[in-house]
Amino acid sequence: MTHSSPTQTQIDRRTLIVAGLAASAGAGVVALPAPAEATGSTLNHFQHGVASGDPLPDRVVIWTRVTPTAEATPGSGLGEEVLVRWEMSPTADFSRITAKGSQQTGPDRDHTVKLDVTGLSPETWYFYRFAYNGQTSRVGRTRTAPAADATPDNVRFGVVSCSNLQAGWFASYRHLAARDDLHAILHLGDYLYEYAPGEYGNGMNNDDVRSHEPVTEMRTLADYRIRHAQYKRDSDLSDAHAHVPWIVTWDDHESANDAWLLGAENNEPGEYDWIERKTNANQAYDEWMPLRVSGTATIETDGHLHDRIYRRLRFGTLLELSMLDLRSYRSEQVAPTEPAKVDDPDRTITGDEQMEWLKEGLLTDAQWKIVGNPVMIAPVTFAALPKSLISPVNDVTGLLPDNGIAYNVDQWDGYTADRTELFEHIRNNAITDTVFVTGDIHSAWACDLPYDSAVYPLGKTAGVEFVATSVTSNNLKDILGAPRRTVSVTVENIIRTANRHVRYLNFDDHGFSVLDVTRNRAQMDWYVIGERRDAGTPATWTRSYATATGSNRLHHVTEPV
């Protein structure tokens, strides 16, 4: 392998993937071929767009998928090893080439191409493209992070989660791709869904706006690859990937609903071997997503495959972003008949190693500690009592969790010992400016994070949480088939009355959010779309909340950034 500075490094997935993917960069500028439509080729070799992700000050991951022959479709296992060229430039016309090279790919990684382009300048926009067999991919745009000691005025993220292709069109991605003020997009999980057509679509009857490929639930490696490919062909998603770098983590539907360490709700006993299914999901996710996996996959003592995707990205001294994996290491969700088990100290949502990593990261010298959090951490309970009264009641009943009856035990509410350990770490170390940015729950929330929610607003708080609504996945009005702002308003009021630290809640709308971080505050703006069946639906700003530096509390903001 030969290359000049800057260099590129292959992103290896596991030791089972054969090494030998080559890269080379020459000194002069050598133009790539004309775009695909100008070559006369009858086959579009770049059918799945381009993407970039995980920006660091001197590097960024870039990605594409090449279709070398008509038979070499995603998941087919067909097609030979091919060499794909790439180049990166600070100019959109590629008049100056910063880095270039080539990479070999084949059926072992589903003909995807993913590499880490290094030697780049911090806080800089770059353009990149790929070429194969006389064709050039679309041009992608990406941006490196500020230097570790830089003091950027702001960092601004688009924030999305829960994008079910069967439930509607991805208008939220279209609106994010139209913005020129974003530095990256955070996707907090459920990037795609495992269900077969008709199993989980739009509204009460699960009718599909558009149906999943393949026509079965994802279980095999081929299934997961085909489904990823279908999502990547969506034009709005493709545009958003090409526009800015993405920082992603998975939740459950990338593998199966309500996944945990040893299984999933949507993987019934005898349905499919969970180790194999999760391994398939992990491999396809790594092949098709522009993320940097920390090290190679390992087989742990429990016999299960763990791809470490929890990781940190720093944006100067302004913020450090910790992206969590809350599926691969968690204990099984508690049964509805045993609500008090949510407080069992032997149960975990993070796993011991990730918990220590997270606590260490919150001690960073960066001002803002942003946590990319796949499921809600704010307590959302009913029948909450002050903690001083829980023990006497449990002496009689033995039924009450320390924070009341949980609304959703798939969240941190189902693993209260981990949340208490984390919050105590924040309190004991006087950590300020911690912001959890969350997906999963198909609704928009702004919450303070009290140490004792029963006495809120008295007492101190560990930080705040901003929850992004779903891109398309069903919310309360969709499930009930009720008109907008009718039944859901009653439910929102009940939840907010029982949980006073919940400052904002919207169960009705789909959309996206924008998180803007400055020295003075971190602010989340929520945007809602209209009808998700309408590919051209507009987006409208609806609400903003912010937390001021050092306050660990939310305040309402009257306009977006």
Among 97, 112, 143, the domain-final residue is 143
Domain boundary among 120, 143, 166: 143
Same domain, 80 and 113: yes
pLDDT at 22 over 50: no
For the beta carbon of residue 530, count every other beta carbon within 10 angstroms: 15
Q: Is the per-residue pLDDT at 28 higher than 70? A: no
Structure-model confidence comparison of residues 206 and 417, the more confident one: 417
pLDDT of residue 10 exceeding 60, the answer is: no
pLDDT value, residue 34: 57
Highest mean pLDDT among 215-224, 392-401, 471-480: 215-224
CB-CB contact of 511 with 469 (8 Å): yes
DSSP H or E stretch at residue 554: strand 554-557
Tell me the pLDDT tens digit for each residue of 244-295: 999 999 999 999 999 999 999 999 888 999 999 999 999 999 999 999 986 4
User: Mean pLDDT throughout 550-558?
Assistant: 98
- Quick one: 96 and 161 in the same domain? no
d(CA 171, CA 297): 35
Provide the strand spans (E) within 22-58: 50-56
Quote the pLDDT of residue 1. 33
pLDDT at 229 over 90: yes
Element (DSSP H or E) covering residue 334: none
Residues forming a β-bridge with 525 = 514, 544
Region label for 476, one of left (φ > 0), alpha (ψ between -120 and 50) or beta (otherwise): alpha
Are both 123 and 224 inside the same structural domain? no
Q: Are residues 276 and 304 in the same domain?
A: yes
Q: What is the pLDDT of residue 339?
A: 87
Would you say the C-alpha torsion 526, 531, 532, 535 has a positive or negative sign?
negative
Q: Which domain does 189 fall in, by range?
A: 154-335+366-372+434-442+464-557
487 located within any domain:
yes
pLDDT at 39: 52
Are the CB atoms for 550 and 461 separated by under 8 Å? Answer: no
Number of H helices, E strands in the chain: 9, 29
Indicate if the pLDDT at residue 67 is higher than 60.
Answer: yes
Q: How far apart are CA 230 and CA 237, in angstroms?
A: 11
CA distance 541 to 559: 8
Least confident stretch, 23-37, 133-147, 237-251, 395-409: 23-37
| 129-165 tens-digit pLDDT | 999 999 999 999 999 999 999 999 999 999 999 999 9
Q: Which of 275, 305, 276 is nearest to 293 (CA)?
A: 305
Q: Tell me, yes or no, whether 539 lies in a domain.
A: yes
Q: Assess whether 132 and 201 both reside in one domain.
A: no
Q: How many residues does the chain have?
A: 561
Sign of the CA dihedral 150, 151, 152, 158?
positive
Determine the residue type at 329.
Answer: Y
Pair (181, 110) in one structural domain: no
485 and 524 belong to one structural domain: yes
Residue 37 CB partners (closer than 8 Å, separation 6+): none
Q: Is the pLDDT of residue 23 over 50?
A: no
Least confident of 125-139, 292-306, 492-506: 292-306
- Residue 379 within a domain: no
* The pLDDT value given to residue 293: 85
Tokens of 108: 């072992």
How far, in Å, CA of 92 to CA of 242, rounded?
A: 13
Confirm whether 345 is domain-assigned. no
Structure tokens given for 269: 């006993």
Is residue 398 domain-resident?
A: no
- Say if residue 119 is in the same domain as residue 161: no
pLDDT of residue 72: 98
Residue among 113, 107, 120 nearest 21 (CA): 113
- Confidence at residue 504, expressed as pLDDT on a 0 to 100 scale: 98
pLDDT at 32: 76
Report the CATH number at residue 114.
Answer: 2.60.40.380
Q: What is the pLDDT of residue 187?
A: 98
Do the bridges between strand 554-557 and strand 259-260 make them parallel or antiparallel, or are there none, so unpaired? unpaired
Residue 380 pLDDT exceeds 60: yes
Residue 325's H or E segment, with its range, is none
CA–CA distances in Å: residue 50 to residues 240, 255, 263, 502, 535: 10, 23, 33, 39, 21
Contact 297, 307 (CB under 8 A): yes
Residues 57 and 205 in one domain: no
Q: Kindly report the pTM of this predicted structure.
A: 0.91
Residues 87 and 186 in one domain: no
Nearest to 64, CA basis, from 119, 124, 115: 115
C-alpha to C-alpha distance for 64 and 521, rounded to whole angstroms? 36
531 forms bridges with which residues in the sheet?
none
Handedness of CA 281, 465, 341, 358 (dihedral sign): positive
pLDDT on residue 203: 82
Tell me the residue ranges of DSSP E strands in 177-248. Answer: 184-187, 246-248
- DSSP state, 183? S
Pick the closest to residue 315 from 122, 456, 177, 460 (CA basis): 122
Ordered alpha helix ranges (H), 26-157 = none
- What distances in angstroms separate CA 352 from CA 19, 110, 248, 289, 422, one per listed residue? 32, 34, 22, 26, 12
Residue 38 per-residue DSSP state: G
Structural domains in the chain (count): 2
Name, in order, each residue with C-beta under 8 angstroms of 269's C-beta and a sequence gap of 6 or more. none
Given a cut of 80, is residue 397 above it in pLDDT? no
Phi, psi (rounded to 5 degrees) for 182: -95, 145
355-364: pLDDT as tens digits? 999 999 999 9
Both tokens of 445, joined, read 């929330």
Q: What is the pLDDT of residue 491?
A: 86
Domain match, 66 and 131 both: yes
Give the domain-ending residue among 121, 143, 165: 143
For residue 33, what pLDDT is reported?
66
> Do 218 and 115 lie in a common domain?
no
Token pair for residue 450?
């009290």
Q: Is residue 71 included in any domain, yes or no? A: yes
In angstroms, rounded to a whole number, what is the distance separating the alpha carbons of residues 454 and 381? 10
* Cα→Cα distances 516→241, 411, 551, Å: 20, 25, 17
pLDDT tens column, 518-529: 999 999 999 999
Report whether pLDDT(225) > 70: yes
Mean pLDDT, the chain, as a whole number? 89
> CA geometry: angle at 159 spanning 46 and 111, to 5°?
20
- Cβ–Cβ < 8 Å for 172, 512: yes
Least confident of 80-89, 377-386, 387-396, 405-414: 387-396
Q: What tokens appear for 465 in the block?
A: 């949480």
Residue 27 pLDDT more than 60? no
The answer, yes or no, to whether residue 222 has pLDDT greater than 70, is yes
Nearest C-alpha neighbor of 258 from the set 182, 311, 334:
334
**How far, in Å, CA of 269 to CA of 263, rounded?**
9
